[in-house]
């Protein structure tokens, strides 16, 4: 067990979370095993994960049958809240033993509210009360409308997972919202927690597609220049975001909050499954190992890392190279700010579409289960 790289990541100050939740993970003991044997210290979920779990399984049929007469929205919330509560209960001992450093389970507000500050705040309060677990994190997208919601929720003592961060400027806004929320909170700060979910592989996929367009028309010299940027931008972007993290949370401003018990808002590496089969399947783990961070992995990446991750303190290495990579990207005419803005819009759509599909499928499944 000690040789498992997943467990060894904690020696570097990085926590492993899993990006998955299905009811059978809880009922079969799989999640408990991941906690005990694989070093998993938290869990993230999203509408796409729930759509796959609920629609593709009979594990929810009994609860659906018992919900006869309820609206589809109410049925969905009841199903999800139960899974989140049960998962949070499994992580609760870790939450307590780590004094609130880990053991969190994340639940997303409705993707329909991504551009609605007040709606996000209301739903987050509602979900916080419904789940009723101190180791819950409410996921709020890092949109312009989400930033004031994050501040308000932290000020109210609600843990927040800021999601869909692609740009370093957006990350800085999320960290600022966290600090403002802490400063507004009147009580103890020890058990208020937040992570900033910084997305990785989607950036490389988008940038590589843009580079390929240029490659198709490039001469040999320019072609080598363009190829040297493939698969390097997401990690470079993340390393520079981590430098921002250090500057923010080593500041005098945060020191005053830390004196009141506040914890840093950790960077969480998300979208860590490698999309390009030409790239090493654990690259978004191996290249971003460092303290006060989280890596949330889909099951395939978690399994691959347990098998063959080669770990080193990589996160703070190669900052000059990271800066050169992003400068070179701009020099070849690719606007990273536009790429990340497009990815945010696409990310919101990627959560809204499965949510629409989930509600439609759940309506049909409710009718079928009740009729059966």
- What CA–CA distance (Å, rounded) separates 235 from 370? 49
Phi, psi (deg, nearest 5) at residue 334:
-100, 125
Distance CA 352, CA 112 (A): 7
- Measured CA to CA in angstroms, residue 351 lies from 47, 132, 298, 330, 360 at distances of 6, 24, 16, 30, 14
Joined together, the tokens standing for residue 109 give 């507000």
Q: Is 305 helix (H, G, I), strand (E, B) or coil?
A: helix
Q: Which residue out of 139, 239, 263, 365 is catalytically annotated?
A: 139
Rounded to 10°, the helix 72-97/336-371 angle is 120
338 is catalytic: no
309, β-bridge pairs: none
Distance separating alpha carbons of residues 235 and 242, to the nearest angstrom? 10
Helix (H) or strand (E) holding 163: strand 160-165
Rounded-to-integer distance, Cα 234 and Cα 242, Å: 12
Q: Do the bridges between strand 194-199 and strand 40-44 make them parallel or antiparallel, or are there none, so unpaired?
A: unpaired
Which residues pair with residue 290 across a beta bridge? none
Ramachandran class of 58: left when φ > 0, alpha when ψ lies in -120 to 50, beta otherwise: alpha
- Active site members: 139
């Amino acid at each position: 067990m000690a040789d498992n790289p997943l467990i060894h990541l904690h020696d570097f100050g990085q926590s492993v979370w899993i990006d998955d939740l299905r009811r059978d993970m809880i009922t079969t003991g799989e999640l408990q095993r991941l906690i005990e044997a694989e070093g998993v210290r938290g869990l993230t979920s999203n509408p796409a994960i729930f759509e796959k779990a609920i629609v593709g399984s009979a594990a929810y049929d009994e609860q659906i049958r018992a919900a006869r007469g309820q609206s589809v929205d109410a049925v969905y919330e009841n199903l999800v809240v139960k899974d989140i509560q049960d998962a949070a209960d499994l992580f609760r001992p870790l939450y307590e033993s780590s004094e609130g450093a880990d053991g969190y389970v994340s639940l997303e507000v409705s993707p329909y509210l991504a551009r609605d500050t007040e709606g996000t705040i209301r739903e987050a309060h509602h979900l916080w009360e419904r789940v009723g677990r101190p180791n819950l994190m409410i996921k709020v997208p890092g949109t312009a409308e989400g930033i004031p919601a994050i501040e308000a929720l932290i000020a109210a003592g609600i843990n927040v997972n800021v999601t869909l961060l692609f740009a370093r400027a957006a990350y800085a806004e999320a960290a600022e919202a966290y600090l403002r929320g802490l400063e507004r909170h009147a009580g103890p700060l020890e058990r208020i927690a937040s992570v900033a979910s910084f997305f990785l592989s989607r950036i490389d996929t988008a940038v590589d597609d843009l580079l390929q367009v240029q490659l198709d028309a490039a001469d040999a010299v320019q072609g080598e220049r363009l190829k040297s940027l493939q698969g390097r931008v997401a990690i470079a972007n993340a390393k520079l975001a981590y430098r921002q993290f250090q500057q923010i949370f080593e500041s005098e401003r945060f020191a005053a909050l830390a004196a009141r018990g506040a914890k840093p808002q950790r960077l969480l590496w998300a979208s860590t499954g490698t999309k390009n089969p030409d790239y090493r399947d654990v690259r978004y783990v191996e290249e971003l190992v460092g303290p006060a961070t989280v890596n949330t992995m889909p099951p395939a990446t978690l399994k691959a890392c347990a098998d063959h991750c080669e770990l080193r303190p990589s996160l703070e290495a190669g900052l000059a190279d990271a800066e050169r990579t992003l400068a070179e990207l701009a020099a070849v005419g690719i606007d990273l700010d536009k790429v990340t803005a497009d990815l945010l819009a696409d990310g919101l759509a990627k959560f809204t579409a499965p949510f629409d599909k989930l509600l439609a499928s759940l309506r049909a499944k409710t009718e079928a289960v009740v009729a059966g």
